[in-house]
Amino acid sequence: MFERRFVLTMAVRALVLYFEADARLLPVARAVHAGATIAGAEAALMSYSQWAASGYLPADGFYDLFFVGADLAHMFSKHDLFAQTKGFGWQGRNVAPFALCSNSKPSRGAFKQVAAEFEKRGAVVRNTLTLNVKGNLSFLGKGRLDEVDFVRAQAFGERTVNYYVGKRVTKPSEKAKIAGYRK
């Protein structure tokens, strides 16, 4: 007779936040959401304004992991995610910031400042992702994303959830591929 064993695991509850002002950020947020879902998370996708309007509901402590989109690609019209979430305490929260960046050092530096600001506010930064816009006007934050960027965003969501639950996915070493090498 076969014995069946059921392992009950609690799903990770994740929230993917994005700025609706940037039309390019929604498809990226959807890709992150898809990756988190593939990894088994109960993921929700919401804009900052929707989440703030709801009073940061569901109740405090509901989400285990926050994927937060930062608006860094626009040179003149950046939105501050901390101003958008001023009524929410990040202390003890697990966050994974992602952003579209222009092809400039100040833009990449601004993303490092976002991650540092989360840590300063007591959050735990689990993972980060930057996607560089491409094209002639990329230094202004105008530009396009390629298909590989959306694949990277999906992998970011999946990898972050896997790491959060302690699942490490590693590529087998070359030594393991050689027959008879195992010691």
Q: Specify the pLDDT at position 96.
A: 95
Mean pLDDT, to the nearest integer, of 54-71? 84
pLDDT of 150 over the 90 cut: yes
Per the DSSP assignment, residues forming a β-bridge with 100 are: 71, 131
Contacts of residue 23, defined as CB under 8 A and 6 or more positions apart, other chains included, come to none
Q: What's the mean pLDDT when you consider all of the chain? A: 81
Query: Angle at Cα 68 formed by Cα 66 and Cα 74, nearest 5°?
Result: 180
**pLDDT winner (highest mean) among 82-86, 133-137, 178-182:** 82-86
DSSP-assigned states of every residue in 13-48: EEEEEE-TT-TTHHHHHHHHHHHHHHTT-EEEEEEH
pLDDT of 128 over the 60 cut: yes
Q: Specify the pLDDT at position 126.
A: 95
Domains, the chain, with CATH or none: 13-177 (3.40.50.360)
- Return the minimum-mean-pLDDT range out of 5-9, 86-90, 170-174: 5-9
Residue 74 near residue 101 (C-beta atoms within 8 A)? no
Q: Which two tokens stand for residue 156?
A: 């970011």
Contacts of residue 67, defined as CB under 8 A and 6 or more positions apart, other chains included, come to 14, 15, 16, 17, 29, 32, 33, 36, 95, 96, 97, 98, 157, 160
pLDDT of 141 over the 70 cut: no
Q: Specify the pLDDT at position 149.
A: 92
pLDDT of 152 over the 80 cut: yes
Residue 142 near residue 133 (C-beta atoms within 8 A)? yes
pLDDT, one tens digit per residue, over 92-104 is 999 999 988 876 7
Q: Specify the pLDDT at position 20.
A: 81
pTM above 0.85, yes or no: no
pLDDT of 59 over the 80 cut: no
Is 104 buried (19+), middle (13-18) or exposed (0-12) by CB count in 10 A?
middle
